[in-house]
Chain A
Amino acid sequence: DAGVIQSPRHEVTEMGQEVTLRCKPISGHDYLFWYRQTMMRGLELLIYFNNNVPIDDSGMPEDRFSAKMPNASFSTLKIQPSEPRDSAVYFCASTFGTYNEQFFGPGTRLTVL
């Protein structure tokens, strides 16, 4: 299995621009998670989906952030407009069922200038 796939791996953009991060979970997994990691705040859960339905989005920082999962093999996290404080590494993870290991993708390093 290829594992969780994320794209792009690095993104540099200017403040105010729209940013779209992409994730392909492991085939057969029914849960997908979006995390953000910074030195100051650590690894934070933004939102997670079960069977393509958002279950908990309480970690989404504000209306500038949105996430979708149109099908079982694809999800996007969009930031519009982006701000310098959004600079972080964004991880996508997936798992099957409840109480099982979450497998993380390689992450997208976002820099907003």
Chain B
Amino acid sequence: QKEVEQNSGPLSVPEGAIASLNCTYSDRGSQSFFWYRQYSGKSPELIMFIYSNGDKEDGRFTAQLNKASQYVSLLIRDSQPSDSATYLCAVRPRGGATNKLIFGTGTLLAVQP
């Protein structure tokens, strides 16, 4: 079992719809969770992070964390063609003050105009 799993996609949604991206992780002791966006040929950039169970909203983005079920999701409301990218889920494992991140392989999102 991979430490961080994502559906590779592509996930295709029409413009204006809600895109839902999911991620599961294997280490129940994982501390914090990150969503990065990566445009084709570019480097990853942080969108959001979440530490506590529940929802965290930032503009059109909402991160959801359920530690009991070991999943984290990212919702993108009012999807735009400019949101088309690969979304990487990253998990900080247990182990004190560590800066190590474990990434999933990413989900490709395609927003159709």
Contact = CB atoms under 8 A, between A and B. Distances in A.
A44 B101 contact: no
Contact of A98 (B45, B97, B104, B106): B97
B16 interface: no
A73 interface: no
Given A99-B32, A101-B46, A104-B45, A44 B97 contact: no
B43 A43 contact: no
B103 interface: yes
A31 B99 contact: yes
B85 to A, nearest CB: 14
Interface residues of B, number: 19
Contacts of B98: 56, 98
Contacts of B105: 41-43
A45 B43 contact: no
B32 A43 contact: no
Interface in A32-46: 33, 41-45
Chain A: interface size category: 20 to 34
Nearest to A3: B43
B102 to A, nearest CB: 7
A54 to B, nearest CB: 13
Contacts of A102: 46, 99, 101
B103 A44 contact: yes
A45 B44 contact: no
Interface in A65-113: 91, 95, 98-99, 101-102, 104-107
A106 B43 contact: yes
Interface in B50-108: 88, 92, 97-106
Contacts of B104: 42
